[in-house]
Amino acid sequence: MNSKLVSLFCCLIMLVSFSGCTKVTQLVKDNQPTKAELLAEINEEHQRWEAAPAADPTPYLRHYDDPADAQKYFDYITDTYSEYDAEKELTVDEAKADVNYLFDALYYDYALYDYFGGHAVFDQANADTLQEVQSRDSLTCEDLQKILVSHLTFIKDGHFNINQDYPSEKDIPFFFRQVMFVKTDSGYQNANGKVVASVDDHPDLDELFKRSISEQGYLVYYPVLLKPATFDGTEWEKHTCDETLTVHYTDGSTDTLTADAWSQYYKDLPKGQNTDLRQTDGIPVFQFNSFDGSFLQEVNAAAAQMSNAGVSMLDLRSNIGGYEEVAHQWINRYSHQRVFSTGVRYSVLSASLVASPSTSKTPRASNDNILILLSGKCSASSAEITLDLSYNLDNSLIIGENTNGSMIGNAGHIELPNSKCSVTMTSYSVYLTPDGSDYFEELRGFFPDIWVPAKEAETLAAKLMENLK
């Protein structure tokens, strides 16, 4: 038998071995919750964060060498966005001037300056950056950008970037969907009833197996792994997972699983539209890609309309954030009541520590209908604050991928004078969530309640609603 036939034969064997597990069996159907049971389970998961201890704001407060330094904020922050030429040549002196300008701006303007180490850390980074610049005979604006980013990897702030190049990696999800699993009293079982005994290198099965939706629209479980990835424009390319999973069953058999490839998901709105209210299998789906106050009326009108639907979806998979107040208004209009956030926004200026109301002292918002919030790795900032609000609204389901992880700060802007590098940095305030990384973690984001690839979330969510009684 030649090598091509051998390869074909092996592929057929693998397909046969997995085919029984990808079919919806009676075991899968028998382990489907009702809608009421699923909502009760997720409501309980959300509610436990109401009693979680609040984050301590003290480490975030700014400490200036001179109180008057706080007033120099306006010397650097700007609305100017000049044309950026990555190939423009800079002299060493011009590059050094930009480096010093940036680190001065970080001291005066960056809300997380003290949190990420203050003078001890930033002064060292400044010196190391200048040393590398000084070693160059010449460099372009892009060269300077990359040098700066390489010396700022200690900044774990999802907003912070230089020309959309982020110094810290963000966690992306990989789905292992060759075999569907259900969770029973016996543990995790594949569709044919085999009980999972262990998975190599993953002792915590509850952490590995995530609530998900099968292609047919049934609630199942799949292994999901988070892996760090660089967000410098390459996130739009296809990413593969270098890890396989070997699943051991109690009968002695095994399955070796590989992950689906991942790439960033983003869906443009219809041409000329700020928002899109559509229907998927009879379910209203509302999408807007930024929290822009200029079309607040459209956003609020859609929220009011959706509030009358038994099931509706808010599509935040392509929403990169914006004006926070829009998030609050949308949730309030949808629910016909004020919904409080779990997180708290603080001013970091020590002279004016300000906190928003804590949900631990406020009633949970009731909701008789089902609100599905679709999430993806593009869901950032105010989109994540919307998810934070949804935790305090009954019958809210987050379906999709973990979010961007850009909620701790906000988006001030400075521009370097010679290179015209655009720097986004958090200014004056931080958004703190309850202690406990299971809730939210910067750069990782929120976990969804039900994990599915962002591209498939709308379709699979509709199928699930149709299948559940």
> Tell me, what's the pLDDT at 104?
97
- Can you tell me the distance from the alpha carbon of 253 to that of 267, in angstroms, rounded to the nearest whole number? 42
Helices and strands (H and E) in the chain: how many: 11, 23
pLDDT mean across residues, the chain: 91
Residue 9 has pLDDT above 50, yes or no: no
**Has residue 125 been placed in a domain?**
no
> Tell me, what's the pLDDT at 264?
96
Per DSSP, the three-state class of 403 is coil
Distances (CA, A) of 312 to 38, 141, 333, 341, 405: 16, 47, 14, 21, 25
Q: Which of 5-19, 55-69, 189-203, 390-404 bottoms out in mean pLDDT, i.e. has the lowest?
A: 5-19
Is the alpha carbon torsion for 405, 410, 411, 413 positive or negative? negative
Each residue of 109-142: pLDDT tens digit? 999 999 999 999 999 999 999 999 999 988 999 9
**Has residue 140 been placed in a domain?**
no
Backbone angles phi, psi at 465, to 5 degrees: -60, -35
**Has residue 404 been placed in a domain?**
yes
**Has residue 222 been placed in a domain?**
no
Q: What mean pLDDT comes out for the span 5-26?
A: 52
Each residue of 86-114: pLDDT tens digit? 999 999 999 999 999 999 999 999 999 99
**Has residue 346 been placed in a domain?**
yes
The secondary structure of residue 337, as a DSSP letter, is: S
- Can you tell me the distance from the alpha carbon of 310 to that of 371, in angstroms, rounded to the nearest whole number? 8
CATH of the domain at 312: 3.90.226.10
> Tell me, what's the pLDDT at 54?
77
- CA 375 to mean position of chain CA atoms: 8
- Can you tell me the distance from the alpha carbon of 429 to that of 434, in angstroms, rounded to the nearest whole number? 17
Backbone angles phi, psi at 171, to 5 degrees: -85, 125
**Has residue 286 been placed in a domain?**
yes
Residue among 130, 151, 144 at smallest CA distance from 87: 144
For residue 303, give its domain range: 45-57+265-410+420-467
Q: Which of 188-202, 211-225, 313-327, 335-349 bottoms out in mean pLDDT, i.e. has the lowest?
A: 335-349
> Tell me, what's the pLDDT at 51?
75
Q: What mean pLDDT comes out for the span 151-173?
A: 97
Q: How many CA atoms lie within 13 A of 253 on its CB side?
A: 10
Each residue of 333-392: pLDDT tens digit? 999 999 999 888 888 886 455 554 444 456 789 999 999 999 999 999 999 999 999 999
**Has residue 319 been placed in a domain?**
yes
Distances (CA, A) of 176 to 62, 204, 376, 418: 44, 16, 17, 47
Residue 20 has pLDDT above 90, yes or no: no
> Tell me, what's the pLDDT at 350?
61
Give the pLDDT band (50/70/90) at residue 411. confident
Angle subtended at Cα 83 by Cα 231 and Cα 134, rounded to the nearest 5 degrees:
70
> Tell me, what's the pLDDT at 267?
97
**Has residue 424 been placed in a domain?**
yes
Q: How many domains does the chain have?
A: 1
pTM of the full structure: 0.91
Q: Token pair for residue 456?
A: 């498939």
Give the pLDDT band (50/70/90) at residue 56. confident
> Tell me, what's the pLDDT at 182?
98
> Tell me, what's the pLDDT at 18?
42
Per DSSP, the three-state class of 224 is strand
Each residue of 253-286: pLDDT tens digit? 999 999 999 999 999 999 999 999 999 999 999 9
